[in-house]
Amino acid sequence: MSTAFPARELRIGTRTSPMALAQTARVTQLLHQLDPRLRTVAVPVRTEADLWHGELSGIGGKGLFVKALDVRLQSGDIDLALHCLKDVPGDVPFRAGLVVAAHLERADVRDVLVVPEHSAVRRLDDLPPGARVGTASVRRRAQLLRIRPDLRIVPVRGAVGTRLDLLDGRPTAPTTHTNTTDTTDTTDFADPAASTEPSSPAHLDALVLASAGLARLGLSHRARQIFEIEEVLPAVGAGVLSLECRRDDSAVAALLEQLNHEPTLTEATAERVMLQGLRGHCNSPIAGYCVTGPGGRLSLRGRVFSPDGAAFAQVHLCSDAPHDPAALGAHAATELLSQGARSLIDTGIPL
């Protein structure tokens, strides 16, 4: 590790949500394990997407979360940006001068069903016909509707705590900030079939959230059903935290490289190349998941859906060249495109 670090403060750029701050605390812990003398400071960054109360597709998608941190990194205001890889667009090149120096070991990639605190519901099958399920993910929407076409999918976004408050019936005003210290506590209901007034919270029967996110917030006990990947295929890059720095900052890059988890990097590379080959973005109903098997052999699943899940393209490939994940991802993209994935992506509509 560079000897410059004991005398240098490492500024970690982070969004301001409880989830982002928990992830930043984890990265800080790992860095201090490498060098207990290292001085770190979290630099909260409020983004345009955090302050927007409507659909993210209307202002450029989840990529705005990434962009705001990257701009600060380019300018030298921060030394390190922490990203959830699933939020990094597949159709936008990295900003000039920046490089991902490490992917942390992957967390649980699965999605989970969460219901009100005192509900007797244990599984998706237990929900009544026409139940209202909250998720802003087009990927989740499509796969849930494949399982239960009768469900009413309600677009809900914002901090996990806010979404749980809405689910449990605790007072939370939609389209407003419920906690002035957390700028991501915004929620938007955009269900045109809802009969409630815009100013009153809509009733929800369930939410679908990421298992990893609940775990990072100490809320794993709220999960009622864990969807296996055969039921709900994860997002590309699910469960992966990526650490980005300036390409010419060799001291930071050398430090972060010590945290890189090579199997996660390999798997994420296959998934991301597939996503890039499909020209997928944050509003595309695309799912992808790669795992490493015996002997380093890679297995990659990919699916592209219509918004209602009725039509889809899918592929499951194993690599004959386990050390070339990019080739596997490119092959998967080609196969999906040959099945009509492009038309599914292009005709997809935001929630």
Residues identified as active-site: 86-87, 139-140, 157, 163, 282
Whole-angstrom Cα distance, residue 218 to residue 208? 17
Do the Cβ atoms of 77 and 246 come closer than 8 Å?
A: no
C-alpha Rg value of the chain to the nearest Å: 20
Residues paired with residue 242 on neighbouring β-strands, in sequence order: 83, 103
From residue 173, alpha-carbon distances to 186, 208, 209, 278, 323 in Å are: 9, 20, 20, 38, 50
Q: How many CB atoms lie within 10 A of CB 336?
A: 26
Whole-angstrom Cα distance, residue 145 to residue 276? 26
Do the Cβ atoms of 26 and 191 come closer than 8 Å?
A: no
Amino acid at 180: T
Query: Alpha helices of the chain — where are they, by DSSP H?
Result: 18-34, 48-51, 63-75, 138-147, 160-168, 211-216, 250-257, 262-277, 325-338, 341-347
Strands 206-210 and 9-14: unpaired
Amino acid at 319: S
In degrees, rounded to 5, the angle at the alpha carbon of residue 283 between the alpha carbons of residues 332 and 234 is 50
Number of C-alpha atoms within 13 angstroms, CB side, residue 77?
14
